[in-house]
Structure 1
Amino acid sequence: MADFNNSTDNMHPSDPNSIVEVVILVWLWRICGALLIFPGLTGNIIVIYIFSKLDIASSTANVHFFVLTITDSAILVTVLLRQWIVFTFNYDLRNISNLGCKIHEFLSYTLSDFSPWILVSLSCERVISVYFPFDFKRWCTVRRAVCKLAAMFFVCCIINAHLLWTYGLIPDGSDMSCEPVNEEMRYYDIHVFVWLDLLFVSFIPFVIMLVCSVLIIRKLSRSDFAYNPRTGAVSTTDPDTTSRGRPKMDRNTSDTRLLLVFAVLYVCLSLPHSSTYIIFSYITADCYQSIARISLAWSVTFLVQACNYSINIVLYTARSKKFRWEFRKLFHRTTPRRPQTGRPKKTTAPQDRQITLMAKRNRLSSATELNRQFRNATGINISTQTFRNRLHKSHLHAQLIVIIQFKFSEIKSTFL
C-alpha cells in the first residue's frame, strides 16, 4: 500500500479521472446530490404552499419557518445544484462571467450564514414566551419579527460583502476559475475566514440554541402552572399529580422539542464541513491523489451538511397537526360534504356523547349546572336549551328536586 501511494504513476497519472477517489467523488455527487436537491426542493415548495394556506402572519413562529424554508431552497439552488451540474455535465455556471462569479460566491456564504441565525431568533422568542408570557405578544409581534430577520440578513450581507471585490475569474490552465484575485486575500480566505465561518455558522448558533432550549425546559419543569392547549386555560398543578389525581401534564411542548432537535441536528450536520476548511488549510497537496482525497472528504461533509436544507418537510410535519392535515389533503382525495340546510352544529359527536355521560353520572343535577360543567371542561359555550336538546336526543331529561312542606297539624289530623 505504501508503494502504491508513493509511486510515480500515482503522483502524475496520465488520466487524473482514473483515480479511484475521483471516480467515487463523481458518482457520489451524481447520485447523492440528486437525491438531496430534487426531493428537497419539492418538499420545500410543498412547505411554502402549505404555509401560505395556514396564514403566515398568524404567529411569529410561522414567519420564521417560512423564511427558513425559502432560505434553504435558495441554498439548494445556489450551492448544491451548481456542484451537481459540475460533476454531472462538467460545466460550471459561475464561470460564465466575472460578475456571476462574485454574485455566486457572495450569495453562497450569505445564505449559509443566514439560515442558522433564523433558528437562533426563533429560540430567543421561545425563551421570552416562557419567561414573560404576558408580555410576549406585545414584545414579539409579526412586524418586529420581519424587521429582525431583515436586519439579520443585512448583517450577513455586510460580513460577506468583501467577497464582491476579492473574488473573480482568473486563468487556470486553459479554463477560468473563480478564486481570490490576490495572494493577500487568498491567505485571509484560507487561514482567517475559515475560523470566522466556523464560529459564525456552526459554533455560536448551536450554543445559543442549546442554551435557549435548556432554559425553556428548566422553566417549564419547575413551573407551578400548566397550559391546556385544548381549552386554552392555565391552571395550577401539584408537582406529581393534578387535583383530580390524573398524571401531570407534559410541559415539554412540541415546539421546545423541535428546537432542541434543530440545535443538535444542525451542529451534527454542519460542524464537520466547517471543520474541514480549517483542517485542509494546514494540509499541503503535492500530488493528484492527495487532491482527490481532500476533494472527496470535502464533498462528503458538504453533502452531510446539505441534509439540513432538505429535511424541512419532515420536521414541520412532525411539529404541527395542522401542517400534517394540510399535507395529507394534498395527496388524499376527500369526498366533499353534501350541502346542508341551517347553521352547523356547535358540538361534535364525541362532545354529544360526553354530554350524555355527564348527565348519566349526575342525574340529580339540573341542565344549567351540567352546561356550566361542560363549558368549564371543554371551553365550548352553548345555551342551556341546546344542552337540553342534546339530552333529549339520548332520551334523557333533567331531574327536578321537589320539596314538599307539610304542616304538623295536618299530619296529626291525618293519622290520629
Structure 2
Amino acid sequence: MDKNNSTIQIAFICENDLCKAANYVWMIISPVLLVFGLFGGFLIATALIRIRSHTSPLSLFLFILTITDVSILCVGLVRLWILETWELDIRDLSNAGCKLLHFLVYFSMQFSSWILVCVTIERFLKCRCIVYSSMVTIRRCKLAIGVVFLVLGSLNSHYFWTHGFITTQNKTTCGVQPGYETFDEWYIKVDLFILCVVPFIIMMTLDFFILRILKAARLFRQASVATSQMYNKLKKVDQRLTKMLLITNLYFLFSTLPVSIIFILKSYLNSQSETLYSVLSLIGSIVYTLQYSNYSVNCIFYTVYDKRIRRHIKQIFRIAKPRLRSPGSQYTVRSSSSEMSEGISTVTSQVSIRTFSQIDQ
C-alpha cells in the first residue's frame, strides 16, 4: 500500500497537534524499523546462503522472502521517511521513477504475501504427504516462484501507464493519469484481496489442517513412544511449530488489514476537512508503520524456529567478535568440518607452541 498524493498536498497546511504527532511517528519509528529490518535481513540472508538455501524448499522460500522484505523497506519505507522528515517525495524527481516506485511497492508487497502462502503450502505438504521429497522439489519450487512473480508483475504492470507526472495549479507531481481515477479506486479494493484477504484465508485454512495433523501425530506418539521423555521432547517441537503458525498468520492479518481498510476509507471520505484529515493522518501513520513492521520481522518469525539458521547466525557473530587468547604454553585450534552435509561436528587439536632444540635419540 502507498500513500495517496492528494493527501500529501494538504499535509503542508495541517499544523495541529494530531498532524505533528503523525509526523513524529514517521520520523522516530521509521528509522528503527529500517535499521532492524535491514540488519536482520542481512543476517538471515547470509545464514541461508551458508546453509545452501537452493538445496532445501523451505530455505529457498525464506531466502526469497528475506530479499523481498528488504526491498519493500528500501522502496517503500525509505521514501515515506524522507517525505515526512524533509517534505521531499522522491517520486516527484522523475516521471520514470514515479511509475517504477508505484509498481515496485505494490508488486513487492503482494509478492511477499504470496511467498508466505508458498511457505505454508510447503509446510502442509510436508506434514500431509508421505512422498513429500519427490513431490516438493527445488525445481518445482523455483517454478512456483516464477509463476507468482510473472502473474503479480503482469497484474501491477498498469502502473507504467496509469501513473506518472500530472500538472495541477502550475505544480507537477506524481499521481494518477487523467481518465484512470475510477480504475485506480477499483484496483485499491482488488489489492486488498490480493495482498491480505486471499493469502490469509489460504494460510489459516492450511494451518488448521496442519494443526489437526500434528494433534493426530501427537496422540499416536503418546500411545507408541516408549519413554515419556521422548514424548515430551516431540511434544515441545509440535508446540513450537503451532505457536509459529499462529503468531505469523495473526500478525500478518493484524499488520496488513488495517492499512488496506484505511486506504479504502480515504477514497470515500472528504479529507478537505482539516479535523478529519488530522485524524486520518495520525491513524494512517500508525497503521502504515505497523504494516512495515511486518516486513521488518517477517523472516524472524519463520527462522527463529530453525536451529540451522540460528546456529549459522551465531557463527557469524563469532567470526565478527575478536578473540582474546589467554597466555599459556598451549592454545586450542578449532577447525570446523565441511558444511556440505550440514554437520556440526568440530575437531579440536592441541598445538604446542614450544619448539625443542634437541630430541634424544
Instruction: Give the TM bin, normalised by the shorter chain.
Output: 0.7 to 0.9
Q: In the alignment, which residue of structure 2 is the partner of 1:292?
A: 278
1:177–1:204 distance in 2 versus 1, CA, 3 Å: same
Task: Choose the corresponding residue for 2:191, options 197, 200, 207.
Answer: 197
CA contact (8 A) 1:29 1:87 kept: yes
RMSD of aligned residue pairs (Cα, Å): 2.7
1:174–1:291 distance in 2 versus 1, CA, 3 Å: farther
Q: Does 1:21 align with 2:18?
A: yes
State the Cα distance separating 1:219 from its structure 2 match.
Answer: 1.4
1:37–1:245 distance in 2 versus 1, CA, 3 Å: closer
Task: Choose the corresponding residue for 1:214, options 208, 212, 226.
Answer: 208
Q: What is the CA deviation profile of residues 275-326 of structure 1, one whole-angstrom value per residue up to 9, with x for unaligned ones?
A: 1122222211233333233232222111101111111463255212222222
SS, match of residue 18 in structure 1: coil
Q: Quick one: distance in 2 between partners of 1:259 and 1:202?
A: 16
Q: Does 1:338 align with 2:324?
A: no
Q: What is the CA deviation profile of residues 35-54 of structure 1, one whole-angstrom value per residue up to 9, with x for unaligned ones?
A: 11122111111111111111
Task: Choose the corresponding residue for 2:110, options 80, 101, 113.
Answer: 113
Q: In the alignment, which residue of structure 1 is the partner of 2:157?
A: 161
CA contact (8 A) 2:188 2:264 kept: yes
Q: Quick one: distance in 2 between partners of 1:188 and 1:328?
A: 49
Q: Quick one: distance in 2 between partners of 1:195 and 1:63?
A: 31
Q: Quick one: distance in 2 between partners of 1:107 and 1:51?
A: 24
1:43–1:246 distance in 2 versus 1, CA, 3 Å: closer
Q: In the alignment, which residue of structure 1 is the partner of 2:175?
A: 179
Moved more, 250-259 or 267-276: 250-259
Q: Does 1:81 align with 2:78?
A: yes
Q: Quick one: distance in 2 between partners of 1:127 and 1:237?
A: 19
Q: Does 1:261 align with 2:247?
A: yes
Q: Does 1:93 align with 2:104?
A: no
1:268–1:284 distance in 2 versus 1, CA, 3 Å: same
CA contact (8 A) 2:18 2:278 kept: yes
Q: In the alignment, which residue of structure 2 is the partner of 1:32?
A: 29
Q: Quick one: distance in 2 between partners of 1:174 and 1:321?
A: 59
CA contact (8 A) 1:50 1:323 kept: yes
Q: What is the CA deviation profile of residues 9-56 of structure 1, one whole-angstrom value per residue up to 9, with x for unaligned ones?
A: xxxx9x825222221122211111111112211111111111111111
Q: In the alignment, which residue of structure 2 is the partner of 1:243?
A: 226
CA contact (8 A) 1:44 1:312 kept: no
- TM-score of the pair, normalised by structure 1: 0.70
CA contact (8 A) 1:105 1:163 kept: yes
| Number of corresponding residues | 317
State the Cα distance separating 1:243 from its structure 2 match.
Answer: 3.1
Moved more, 320-329 or 161-170: 320-329
Q: Quick one: distance in 2 between partners of 1:52 and 1:277?
A: 37
Q: Quick one: distance in 2 between partners of 1:115 and 1:238?
A: 38
Q: Does 1:126 align with 2:123?
A: yes
1:245–1:331 distance in 2 versus 1, CA, 3 Å: closer
Q: Quick one: distance in 2 between partners of 1:269 and 1:101?
A: 26
Q: Tell me which amino acid in the other structure corresponds to 1:214.
A: F
- TM-score of the pair, normalised by structure 2: 0.80
Q: In the alignment, which residue of structure 2 is the partner of 1:41?
A: 38
Q: In the alignment, which residue of structure 2 is the partner of 1:146?
A: 142
Alignment of 1:273-352 (within 5 A): 273-312=259-298, 314-332=300-318, 333=321, 337-338=332-333
State the Cα distance separating 1:259 from its structure 2 match.
Answer: 3.1
1:19–1:77 distance in 2 versus 1, CA, 3 Å: same
Q: What is the CA deviation profile of residues 87-110 of structure 1, one whole-angstrom value per residue up to 9, with x for unaligned ones?
A: 112211111111111111011111
Q: Quick one: distance in 2 between partners of 1:43 and 1:245?
A: 38
Q: Quick one: distance in 2 between partners of 1:285 and 1:237?
A: 60
SS, match of residue 59 in structure 2: helix
Q: Tell me which amino acid in the other structure corresponds to 2:182.
A: Y
CA contact (8 A) 1:75 1:111 kept: yes
Q: Quick one: distance in 2 between partners of 1:222 and 1:22?
A: 53
Q: Quick one: distance in 2 between partners of 1:149 and 1:270?
A: 22
Q: In the alignment, which residue of structure 1 is the partner of 2:4?
A: none
Task: Choose the corresponding residue for 1:57, options 48, 54, 61.
Answer: 54
